[in-house]
Structure formats: C-alpha cells, structure tokens
Amino acid sequence: MKAVIYEAKGPPPVFRMVDIPKPVPLKDEVIVKVHTSSVNSWDWEMLDKEPAKAYTGKRGDRQYKVLGADVAGIVDSVGSEITKFKPGDEVFGDLCSCAWGGFGEYTRAREHDIRHKPKELSFVEAAAIPQAGLLAYQGLNSFGGIKPGDKVLINGAGGGVGSIAIQIAKNAGAEVTGVDRGDKLEFMKELGADHVIDYEKEDFTHNGQKYNLILDMKCLRSIGQYRRSLAPGGSCALIGGKISKLFTAAFFGSLGRKKVKLVIYRANKGLVDLAKMAVDGKIKIIIDKTYPLEKVSEAIEYIAEGNVKGKIVVTIVE
C-alpha cells in the first residue's frame, strides 16, 4: 500500500511516499480503506516529537511514521471480535487515540474510534468534521452549553475549529464575536459572526467588552486577562495554544466565579450529533483546499502558515 511517511523533523519536515505492508486486523480492530483524511494542527505539531502508536505494523510499532488522524473511508476487513462493522461499511472518525495513519491507503482502527458515515455526507466532508468539529463542539459545551442571547467570543475563528464553532454558537442563539487575522474578517462574517476583530489591530482583552463564554484556540493570555473579558459568572474554554498557559489554567483557572478551563478533548464523543447537524444543514463544512496524497507536505505547510479558512483535506481515492 502507498503511504506518506515523514523521515526528518523540520523545518522543513521531510516526507516521502513509500510502499509499506497493508495492515491486517487484530481481533478487536477494523481495517479502513482510506478515501480522505483531513489535516489538523496536531499533524504539524507532531513533527516536533516522535509520533505515538504508529500506524500500520503491530499496535505500538513505530517503524512507519504515518500521520493523519481524521479519516473517512470504507471498511476493508474486520477482526473476530468486531460486531458493529462489516466490510463495505462507509465510516469516519478521529484516530488520534489509536492508530493515526490517515495519510495512507489503509489504516487500522478500533471499533469505538469510528462511526458509520451518513450517506448524505461526502467522504471529503466527513473527513473534515471529527477533530476540528468536536474540539469546537466540546469546547462550547464544556460549561453546560450556550443559552440564547449569550455573548460568545471565539479566538481563532477563521480556522478549522473556529469556522465550525461560529456556526454551532449561532445555532444556539448566541451573539458571536470572531477574532482572527484581518484577511479572515469577511470569511467569519459569512459564517454568521455578528462582530469580528483583527487581532493584529485590537486586543479583545482590552476593549472593555464582556462575554459569557470565550472559546480560545490560541491561549496566549494570562488567567487574569481572560477574566477581565468575562461577564459575571462567565467562562473561558481553552483548547489549544501555549503549553505554559494551558497548564496554569488547568491548575488555577477554576478559582473564583469567572472560570478558565482547559478542555480535555475526547475523540469522537458527540460525533454522531455533530454529523447530524451537518446533514440537517445547521452547519456547513468549509473546505479551503484539497490535496492528493503525494502532496501531504504542502498541505501541512499550508496549515502551519495559518492561512487556512476552514479545513484542508487529503484525497486518497478520487
């Protein structure tokens, strides 16, 4: 089977298309013929460290470093203990907690790490939903959900997570402020943001506005700065950014009436509900670009530059 492995850490990272053995399922595994895989920030962040569990050999084997956590495809074969899936089923999911391996023709998955793909969604759309969509979904619901009329600020609203978060918040009846680069302001408005802020020109923690909920993908500020921008009883959910700030929030953010919380991501939790929102037209999955498998390195470089509006998808099967 064809797969893109990375051989050296960047910058720039070194990727190579290779032929590697097709995986064979263990008794509790499903082998998926990958049609599409989306690129997430976690893919390029993994270039700074050894990838966990890899991917196509025995479980835990590190010989083949194949990234790509979000996948959509068709079940090729199943292990003897698998009961929910059979060959030919269309599936999708986030494999970050088990196999990764989306940047290859086949990958392995455990039964609870994939879901049946709704027939109404294309493979491209399905691969773009899991990780980014669920970070948005879980982050916005981490303090019990949004009430109609809540003022919600989303920092990093023009990317994969933010583009879905804007739509989820608007569907819940919130007044949404999106924060990102100046070239993404119109994009955020098109998604439904009521207000937009160019972070290069304005710091939302100094403009005097108060929010019931802040969802921040960047986490570059102190707990005190976040609390200054929260309304009484307000909350801030952090789902990415500077490690030191995230750890501080994890230990001290729960103190006081204004909460600052590190969201612990749970792969695939809520994926069926999120996919139904897409099927029902409540959210639109925005695809910025698609790349063929042999151009994975270009896709990762593009997302690392911060230019993405929505999601990037790698197509393995046309």
Q: Is residue 31 part of a domain?
A: yes
Same domain, 6 and 116: yes
CATH number of the domain to which 289 belongs = 3.90.180.10
CA distances in angstroms from 250 to 133, 247, 267, 295, listed in the order given: 22, 5, 19, 37
**Residue 287 DSSP one-character state:** E
User: Which residues, at least 6 apart from 242, have a Cβ–Cβ distance to it below 8 Å?
Assistant: 218, 219, 220
Could you count the other beta carbons within 10 Å of the beta carbon of residue 33? 19
Indicate if the pLDDT at residue 244 is higher than 70. Answer: no
Res 243: pLDDT:
67
Q: How far apart, in whole angstroms, are the C-alpha atoms of residue 283 and residue 167?
A: 6
Across all residues in the chain, what is the average pLDDT?
89
* Token pair 């907690």: residue: 97
Q: How far apart, in whole angstroms, are the C-alpha atoms of residue 70 and residue 91?
A: 11
Mean pLDDT across the stretch 75-81? 98
Among 45, 25, 131, 166, smallest CA distance to 85 is for 25
Structural domains of the chain, count:
2
Which position has the higher pLDDT, 75 or 49?
A: 75
Q: Is residue 280 part of a domain?
A: no
Same domain, 166 and 246: yes
- pLDDT tens-place string over residues 260-269: 888 889 999 9
Q: Is residue 269 part of a domain?
A: no
- pLDDT tens-place string over residues 90-135: 999 999 887 789 999 999 999 999 999 999 999 999 999 999 999 9
Same domain, 231 and 116: no
Same domain, 21 and 101: yes
Q: How far apart, in whole angstroms, are the C-alpha atoms of residue 79 and residue 85?
A: 10
- Of all residues in the chain, the percent with pLDDT exceeding 90 is 71
Binned at pLDDT 50, 70 and 90, residue 218 comes out as confident
Predicted TM-score of the model (pTM): 0.91
Q: How far apart, in whole angstroms, are the C-alpha atoms of residue 176 and residue 226?
A: 17
Same domain, 121 and 141: no
Which position has the higher pLDDT, 64 or 25?
A: 25
Mean pLDDT across the stretch 7-15? 68
Same domain, 215 and 109: no
For residue 232, give its domain range.
133-262
CATH number of the domain to which 179 belongs = 3.40.50.720
Same domain, 186 and 69: no
CB 238 within 8 Å of CB 218 = no
Residue 244: exposed, middle, or buried by beta-carbon count in 10 A (0-12, 13-18, 19+)?
exposed
Q: Does an H or E element contain 4, and which?
A: strand 2-8
Q: Is residue 226 part of a domain?
A: yes
Mean pLDDT across the stretch 72-82? 98
Same domain, 110 and 145: no
CA distances in angstroms from 48 to 13, 51, 97, 286, 304, listed in the order given: 9, 9, 18, 28, 13
